[in-house]
Amino acid sequence: MNADYQTPPCCDRPSIAVMDYKWPVFGEATEIKVNRVCLHCYAHWAGVVGSVVQYTRKEWNALMDKTFSEGEV
């Protein structure tokens, strides 16, 4: 799947896992969501093409901790 999103540099040895997907996952796909992680420094990119946010490992972990502790699955 081509999300038309160029992953910006994150570290000196980037190894990017691309897990982009169409939303909704089931049914009519309306937009592509970017979901990528660097397997070296664990930078994470998430969002809709045009408004993707880059997170550090610490920021992403804090976001996931907050999301799952509040039951916002």
Quick one: how far is CA 4 from the chain centroid?
Answer: 14
> What's the confidence (pLDDT) of residue 31?
81
Q: What residue segments make up the domains of the chain, in order of their start? A: 16-69
- The pLDDT of 37-55, averaged and rounded, is 95
Q: Is 22:35 a contact under the CB 8 Å cutoff?
A: no
CA atoms within 13 A on the CB side of 42: 6
Alpha helix positions (H), the chain: 57-69
pTM for this structure?
Answer: 0.80
State pLDDT tens for residues 22-39: 876 666 667 889 999 999
For residue 16, what pLDDT is reported?
A: 96
